[in-house]
Structures are given as structure tokens and as C-alpha cells.
Amino acid sequence: MILKKKSYKFQIQPQYVDFQFRATMASLGDILLTAAGFNADDNGFGLRRLHEQDYAWVLSRMAIEMNRFPEQYENIQVETWIEDVGRVTTTRNFCIRDDQDEIIGNACSNWVMLDMKTRRAKDLMTLDGIQEYASGDPGLIDKPIKLGTVEGDEYDGFKVKYSDIDINGHVNSIRYIQWISDCFSLDCYRKCQVKRFEINYVNEMLYDDFVEIVGNEIVSGDFRFEIRKDNKIACKARVVF
């Protein structure tokens, strides 16, 4: 029998928390991607199998909404499932619960399968049996949308370094979340909590690329960002407090 939904347990370790002893958005993103990787392995479509064919899963869009952020050493469960599979993208949902089985957050993500030789998306229908794992069950939050162009102030600028690069040879998905999160001050995080973080990955960034982050506040508490390289958009993000 195919188990279309599965939960994975995690403990919030000290390296996952910020100065307030709460998990950061980047560390939660990392936990979600780890759960996605475990589930892909369990379903027979994990990175190890894909790498044998020079393919890889690449995150396209993700939205995370938190009711509260788990604290240091807190145990959480991440339930994840595939909602649907198209020719180009697949939708994976997440539900985050605490030890009392209370929902503390939800997430929705879109993925593509990348041909590592051509750097182009592959037809997901070539993965025999993957559609059998699509539950059709929607997530508990709005899906990530295509974010618009941002005109705003420059927040930061720096070069991509060794520690930013992952096994696919480009900037790790979580690095973008860290970079956007760093655009806000400690005082901002003392006063406010992020309610929704949304990101679109547009073009990959490589070692030694120059990162330029621009952003503005659309309405009170609703920020939009772009990460650019050589005036080309690498990703877009939205942060709502």
C-alpha cells in the first residue's frame, strides 16, 4: 500500500535558533526540505536515485506560514505529501505540529526536476509511478504565487562564496531565505513575528556571482524583495509580519 502522507520528527537544535531562542525561518525551511528529501527517498524518487541519471530536484517556489515559531530543544513533527504532479512541476505540502499535536505552521512548495547536464527542466512523466503518490489533498495555506517586479532600495550586496554552494553546483535554496531574513534588524524581530514568507526561485546563482538585494515595503508590514545578479533576477520574495 502506498502511504501518501508521512510525518517526520525533528528537534530544534541550538544551531537552528536565533537570539530569542526561536527557530529561524531559514532553519525551518531547511527542516521542511529535509522532510521532503526523506519522503522522496521513501517514495523511490530521492536525490540519490535521480543523481544516478544526472537529474536533481530543484525548488521553484515556496510559501511558509507560522502561527508560532518552535523554541530551542522543542520537538516537532512535519507531515508532508504530494498534492499533484504535472509535466513540469509538482506541488508538495507540509503541516508542522508540536508535541501536543497542535498545528504551528504550514507550507506549500513547487518543484521541478532539473537535467544537470543541460540545466533544463525535465518532463516529470518520465518518472514511472510518481503520479501514484499524488494525494490530491490541498495544503492548508494559499499556494505560492508568481511575485511581481520590485522597485526599491538596495539592502545589501556581496559575492557568492564557497559555503553558499550546494551539491547541485548552485546557491543553496536556504541561503536565499537567510539573505532576505538578514534585511531586518534585531529590533524588528523583537517587536514582530513573520507570518508568511514566500519565495520564487527564478535563475540559479553560481560561485563568485555578485548578489544585490533590493526591496521595499508595499504596505505596512508587507515587504517585497528581489535578489539580482548582473541585473538579472535570481529570486523574488515576500515577507509579511
What is the tens place of the pLDDT at every residue in 73-113? Answer: 999 999 999 999 999 999 999 999 999 999 999 999 999 98
- Compute the average pLDDT of residues 106-133: 86
The pLDDT-based confidence of 1 (bands split at 50, 70, 90) is low
Which residues are paired to 143 by β-bridges? none
The band of 71, judged by pLDDT with boundaries at 50, 70 and 90, is: very high
Q: Which helix (H) or strand (E) holds 49?
A: helix 47-51
- The answer to whether residues 74 and 12 touch, using CB atoms and an 8 Å cutoff, is yes
CATH of domain 153-240: 3.10.129.10
* pLDDT value of position 205: 95
The yes-or-no verdict on residue 126 having pLDDT over 90 is: no
Q: Which residue has the cell 544516478?
A: 52
Give Cα 10 to chain centroid, integer Å: 17
At residue 163, the pLDDT reads 96
Tens digits of per-residue pLDDT, 136-190?
Answer: 999 999 999 999 999 888 999 999 999 999 988 899 999 999 999 999 999 999 9
Place of cell 517514495: 43
> What residues does each domain of the chain span?
5-133, 153-240
d(CA 66, CA 195): 5
How many CA atoms are closer than 13 Å to the CA of 157, on its beta-carbon side? Answer: 9
CB 47 within 8 A of CB 57: yes
Ranges of beta strands (E only) in the chain are: 5-11, 55-66, 75-85, 90-97, 103-115, 120-121, 153-159, 196-201, 210-219, 222-229, 232-240
d(CA 25, CA 239) in angstroms, rounded, equals 11
- Shortest CA distance to 83 belongs to which of 26, 19, 39? 39
For cell 536515485, the residue is 49
| Phi, then psi, of 180 in degrees rounded to 5 | -65, -45
- Quick one: 5-133 is in which CATH superfamily? Hotdog Thioesterase (3.10.129.10)
The model carries a pTM of: 0.93
Q: Could you check whether 5-133 and 153-240 share the same CATH topology? A: yes
Gyration radius of the chain over CA positions: 18
Mean pLDDT of all residues belonging to the chain: 93
